[in-house]
Structure 1
């Protein structure tokens, strides 16, 4: 007997066993896609994980439904990575599969209603509604969804059940293919008109009677190649002919027509074959990276902002693709790296493939197919975190740019993986090198470098020897004391902004809060509007005139009255990017202002347009959130303004100082990237804070040394690992009881290495109350044993009936 283990895209803790014939066993390899029945009748597409001849003891396996492909669509290294992710991040391998593959490949059957008896008369045993449903199904097999749409009702299910009980209809499973090839009409002239005399007669005839049709034929002849099949769209663009002219030519059998498959992806980019030379400092860094790769599989590359790290990446990439290998270039967020896409395509042309979640299912399936074939158009894959799961056929190098970014960590939905860590593990599986790049490396990566796990290379000189921007600190407490500040713009800052605009330079203003103001308070009753679903205040958005929750999207119209006492005496507290934009236009009326935040970049291409306007000079002041700091390279930026650093420093998280330094250093690095030294103005109420001094002095070494010292003392990463257990429930009392039970049981195993249960900073989101429990474990503690204990305790928790309404989320290595 022959068996296969199959991964199905469901939250099932292990693979499912199915029986196959000898011929199927011989044909199937790991990574093949098969259709299998799960439960009584539901069919899913699954991936073959392994095959064997071990007869199961406790059950008789079902046969597979069918084999869906003629070769594997998932590689062995992918399956190994999926298995590791499921074990390390405590999630099912089916959920990993669902996250990893384009949904066009994740097929499942749909319940279809079909008629059993085709001739019945209206009788007392069925109602009018049941008879109408029966008549509809008799005409055509329908799904429940189609029936609901047809009858404009969601209550058809009870009528369907009655018809099934009476035997008039039954349910069958229909397996639906999601991927659809893109096909376009192509034309070929009828072979009899390839004879010159007949073609001449045809053109003469059409010239008098149908000049548009004559134009189409002449255009076809001009475009014709060896295949004789020419795209109808091409001819239409050239001739501007109506569809009726094409239909007439087809009706007269002058043209033959067929639909030919076309790619949805655009690879019409020319490669720049010019030689690119590195600066002396970049060349030294490049040689050092090559040398370190001989000793280490992972190299941490620290290059200050505007040092030209990207050029070093490109040199390494060029070397790899010349060997006919692939390169994975991971970036934190694809939506904000438009400039990187352009730079890669200018250098490497159509060899660059961009992969991210904004592509539709069919486009992603096409990309998957190109990558597994090692296609010429898929040599360099630029992508966000999900691209780590792609089916690389011949991967030669992984580059993780801005490796410190928390965006590489997936939170919802599961699996809650960190793409940087997966990149390192994938490199280990494939025995290839991984390069981690950043101007401000994460504490975890830096500590691994200190311990000798990673090689280390520095590039501390800016491109062309430009100086790092001058960072000036403005003490807002002092400004208030001297009454020299206007709300959030100090006098010195206003003067500097005016001066920068006057000399024709551009300005970037950073504030890590979108909207107009974080809250509004009534001066009569003290009421501050809060979200109905979350434990947060509503943010005022001036352009929509709404109070909006940034967690669940709940909103209220703002009519400038207190929602509780109706008084109009209200105070706007704090400020966001919208308010800064309004204030700038007030104090500098001739300024050309653009705002870059989540609200202003929702529309398609809006982000690219904002960048284009700022680059071309159509705007000279760019106000934004963290978006302005990541992967953007602007010329002629003379001034960067950090409106307030205090909210980042004081955020209640052990990583807040590290993150504050990283964000503000990245923002500051946008200044002075062309010919002249730039300037950064940082406003704060705490100018004496050690972190402010470190930022002003660009002193990464001191900051990271302090952070590592503190974390070692208080037992935080990178010296211990964390597992966060999040409990969610709409019932607050039940959540309290259940979290105490779980906390007490875990305390028996982990003792003082357990923190909590405790409510988080925001204790309710989308009507779910939240409680956190954190487990710490160090290198001396067995990782697998810790996870095994946690899994066992959670399983016991879920078996208690009163706790079943409480959802548990396990987040390994939370960020």
Structure 2
């Protein structure tokens, strides 16, 4: 008896056993989509595994109805990966399997774009027709059509209209009836590159550090090393991308495919441009900015074996290659690799697991590796290749720390957001025709809106945060729930006109810069201004062509940008993130400062970085200014080991939320009491207690924080409690394994 275990998209986290009819036995494989009877209806599902027997005791098993022949199948190794994700990240199997396929492919609603072509059906008959009818006026149109198709090959109707001015469909139909011309259909790919072209590039001679890294990667590809994971720790501008390009070329020579992950969509066009320059159009692009049709075509190009390289953000990790040899995770430390919705997976960690399952090499690249990756490299779990020198042995940028506490109060009508040192440096660059980047990791015009008379603070009524003011749109926005209201002209509490804006965001910095740095050409890049994929490219292209003097932005300008004419980076408030109630705050601050500082001096002129701070003695600021990763890493890891935080433990956060706070608390306490039965002396429970941001979208939030090692049994119990125990109506519970934030 042949049994197929099928998962159906009904969110039950359960496989169902079905008999495989003999007629379907050769075609039923793991990952195939099938139609099955379910209750009183027929549903579609994926085969997760095959078996010879079933534990089902409720009667006779029903047979599979048939195959979904027009729907994409999932490669078996990806199904295995999906099942691991469901187990490890405490999510349902349906959620995990759904993640493996883009919605455009999974739904079946998107179809290939078909184009009808006309071509000669019988060359001899066509030539004879021209010879016999060439002088007949009544056949002139048909003769011209046949001549055009003989000369130019298969053509769509629009092209024939341009080739034959007197074109008529009836004349073409006559040729088809006489079997001189025939119609054929071809699939037309939706081209994600459009009309853009890039100049080809050739491999560059490797530096000593690059050569060592490539030699090690070569051994890894041959299976001659103890680990399949490499940390490529290279300072900014050390040539990591060139190592990626040459490593992919090595994998391709071995007949292997490659996946390249970048942390943000804004980096994808720049990365794709460099990879197209080296490999032509023989690569696919996968990210959320594509249309459904483009995503459908790109996925199928990979699935059909038409391309062997995929570049994209997080979801590109699941590209359906059958012969995967290399996975590259660029800027591996980035928090955007962690999915915020179920399944809450880390693309970096899942990449390591996919590499293990498929025998592929995984390269984790960063100038500022995460604490977890650094620790794994130091213990020998991952291999390590260091690239300590910049390309062409360029000097690291000069770094100056400016103590903003010494600036004193601003002069009437003026602001001291820009220090005198930064103002002088920017004007100096403008005089020399060079460019500057000004960085502040907070968008909006002002952080809060406060009344000087009564102390009223404009806060979102559904979330525990203040509104952010946008002067351009005259609105107050909550960046948690997305709520937007018109900005107040009078205090709604006391009707005073003395309502003002405190704090500063990138919109305000842009406004101030326009006044201070006249006549500078300035643009801003943050999630308020970059609404579409084309917005990123348009601004960066203007900057690349030298049409802008100053680029102002948030963390999206902190990494991946390579502009040789940028010689100055100003960091307006370097310690902005240090006050966050999160153990990763120092790490993220160090990474951001280091990454954005690396944008300066990538050309022939040495760069300069000016760090403005109110906390110049802070260890993180000092280590970042010195570009001392090893010193910071030692300092940060000692703190984490003392408090039993990752990488010395695993961190799991169970979130509870609901509109009725008492119900949330009662359920969270009961949940925690039951879960603690599966703990041991190596596991610490903290909470449940209110989250740092207590309300979002009108729902109260409580957290249970779990730290420890040997968590397999507890994770299994947690999965059952979270997925298979129904919480009270109005209460939600979800699990975040290897959480990246305590907020």
Distance 2:148 2:638 in 1: 74
* 3-state SS, counterpart of residue 307 of structure 1: coil
**Displacement, 1:493?**
1.5
Match of 1:354 among 249, 271, 285: 285
**Cα distance, 1:610 vs structure 2:** 0.6
- The reply on whether 1:790 has 2:715 as its aligned counterpart is no
The reply to whether residue 808 of structure 1 matches residue 733 of structure 2 is yes
Q: Deviations over 1:756-786 (max 9, x none)?
A: 11212211111221111111122xx3x2211
Residue number in structure 2 paired with 1:756: 687
For residue 310 of structure 1, what is the aligned residue in structure 2?
A: 241
SS of match in other structure, 2:242: helix
Per the alignment, residue 421 of structure 2 pairs with 492
Change in 2 beyond 3 A, CA 1:205/1:592: farther
Deviations 1:614-652 (A, max 9, x none): 000111210111110122111210100111012212211
Kindly indicate whether residue 210 of structure 2 is the aligned counterpart of residue 276 of structure 1: no
Alignment of 1:328 onto 2:256: no
The Cα shift of 1:360 comes to 3.4
- Tell me, yes or no, if structure 1 residue 73 matches structure 2 residue 73: yes
TM-score calculated relative to the size of structure 2: 0.91
Question: For 1:563, which of 483, 492, 511 is the aligned residue?
Answer: 492
- Are 1:443 and 2:371 matched, yes or no? yes
Q: Quick check: 1:645–1:684 contact (8 Å CA) kept in 2?
A: yes
RMSD over aligned Cα atoms: 2.7
Matches of residues 595-634 of structure 1 in structure 2 within 5 Å?
Answer: 595-634=524-563
CA distance in 1, matches of 2:347, 2:608: 34
What per-residue deviation string (whole Å, max 9, x for no partner) do you get for residues 701-757 of structure 1?
010001111111110000010110000101122112222333344445548710111
Matches within 5 A, 1:389-404: 389-404=318-333
- Structure-to-structure mapping, 1:441-590, within 5 angstroms: 441-480=369-408, 486-590=415-519
> Could you list the runs of 5+ residues in structure 1 that have no partner in the other structure?
108-176
Structure 2 Cα separation of the partners of residues 799 and 92 of structure 1: 14
Higher mean alpha-carbon deviation, 186-195 vs 432-441, is at 186-195
- Superposed CA deviations along residues 549-570 of structure 1, whole A, max 9, x for unmatched, are 1122211112522233332211
Q: Is the 8 A contact 2:133 2:143 kept in 1?
A: no
How far 1:48 moved relative to its partner?
4.4
| Whole-angstrom CA distance in 1 between matches of 2:333 and 2:403 | 29
Structure 1 pair 206/306, CA: closer, same or farther in 2 (3 Å)?
farther
User: Partners in 2 of 1:296 and 1:370 — Cα distance?
Assistant: 31
Q: Name the residue aligned to 1:732.
A: 661
1:603 positional shift: 3.0
Distance 1:790 1:501 in 2: 58
- How much does 1:599 deviate? 1.6
Q: 2:411, 2:519 → 1: CA distance?
A: 26
Indicate conservation of the 8 Å contact 2:198/2:273, yes or no.
Answer: no
Distance (whole Å) between structure 2 residues aligned to residue 344 and residue 233 of structure 1: 34
What is the CA deviation profile of residues 253-302 of structure 1, one whole-angstrom value per residue up to 9, with x for unaligned ones?
Answer: 58755543222245897894745322333223322444576232111110
Partner of 1:641: 570
Deviates more, 1:767-776 or 1:740-749: 740-749
Structure 2 residue 194 is matched with structure 1 residue 263 = no
Q: Deviations over 1:156-190 (max 9, x none)?
A: xxxxxxxxxxxxxxxxxxxxx42312111323368
Q: For 2:258, what is the secondary structure of its paired residue?
A: strand
- Return the index of the structure with the highest Cα Rg: 1
Q: Secondary structure at the match of 1:613?
A: helix
1:371 corresponds, among 271, 277, 302, to 302
Distance (Å, rounded) in 2 between the aligned partners of 1:470 and 1:390: 42
Aligned CA distance change for structure 1 residues 324 and 650 (closer, same or farther; 3 Å): same
Count of equivalent residues: 725
Native 8 Å contact 2:4 2:49 kept in 1: yes
TM-score (normalizing by structure 1): 0.84
For residue 231 of structure 1, report the CA deviation from its aligned partner: 2.8
Query: Kindly tell me: are residues 502 and 252 of structure 1, through their superposed partners in 2, closer, same or farther at Cα, counting changes over 3 Å?
Result: same
After TM superposition, the structure 1 = structure 2 runs for residues 103-502 of structure 1, keeping only pairs within 5 Å, are 103-107=103-107, 177-188=108-119, 194=127, 195-197=129-131, 200-201=134-135, 220=149, 222-224=151-153, 229-235=154-160, 245-247=167-169, 249-250=171-172, 253=175, 257-265=183-191, 272=200, 274-290=202-218, 294-375=225-306, 378-412=307-341, 414-480=342-408, 486-502=415-431
Instruction: Say if 2:722 and 2:734, in contact at 8 Å, map to a contact too.
Output: no
> d(CA) in 1 for partners of 2:382 and 2:675?
34
Q: CA, structure 1 residues 501+59, in 2 after alignment: closer, same or farther (shift >3 Å)?
A: farther
User: 2:43 aligned with 1:43, yes or no?
Assistant: yes
Shift of 1:221: 5.3
SS at match of 2:281: helix
- 1:425 is displaced (CA, Å) by 0.8
Gap change, CA 1:585 and 1:235, over 3 Å in 2 = farther
* Between 549-558 and 284-293, the greater mean CA deviation after superposition: 284-293
Residue 43 (structure 2) pairs with residue 25 (structure 1) = no
1:214-251 deviation line (CA, Å, top 9, x unaligned): 99877655532xxxx21334456x5697xx95545446
Match of 1:162 in 2: none
Partners of 2:474 and 2:147 in 1: how far apart? 58
For the Cα contact (< 8 Å) 1:30–1:72, is it kept in 2? no
Partner Cα separation in structure 1 for residue 677 and residue 65 of structure 2: 48
Residue 617 and residue 216 in structure 1: after superposition, are their counterparts in 2 closer, same or farther (change >3 A)? farther
Distance 1:793 1:799 in 2: 8
